[in-house]
Amino acid sequence: MITSDSEIVVRYAETDQMGIVHHSNYPVWFELGRTDFIRKLGYSYSKIEEAGILLPLTDLKCSFKAPARYEDEIIIRTHIEKMTCVRITFGYEIFKKKDMSLIARGETFHAWTDKNLKPVNISKRMPELYGIMEKALKSD
């Protein structure tokens, strides 16, 4: 499986009154990791959308292991958890860069659709993209 690491530094606006990253930021970080992962495969969300394909979120899971705080350097590690021709699940691990301690683990579940949100078979609509993603899933 191919993974992609994306780095960020926690901004003050992402923290709550306790100085801990608010839980609402993790889906945003997952999106950052996911779009970066796809970009590193040679595609971009905008290129996929120009082809009339969308990737709406259907479900999201997040398990918190330790707090992240203001100015922590964070690594978002993204991979494809599983994939079919009409659905894809991305997995995420979020680490503190300084000691690689696990902060959170999560998954996002998506469907490949057209602009009317009707399911599409990505292997038929964009076979090159499907092939690249299939390779990223199966690579060691």
Catalytic site positions: 16
Alpha-helical segments (H) within the chain: 25-40, 45-50, 122-125, 127-138
Query: Which 3 state secondary structure label does DSSP give 48?
Result: helix
Query: Which of 135, 118, 97, 122 lies closest to 10, judged by CA?
Result: 97
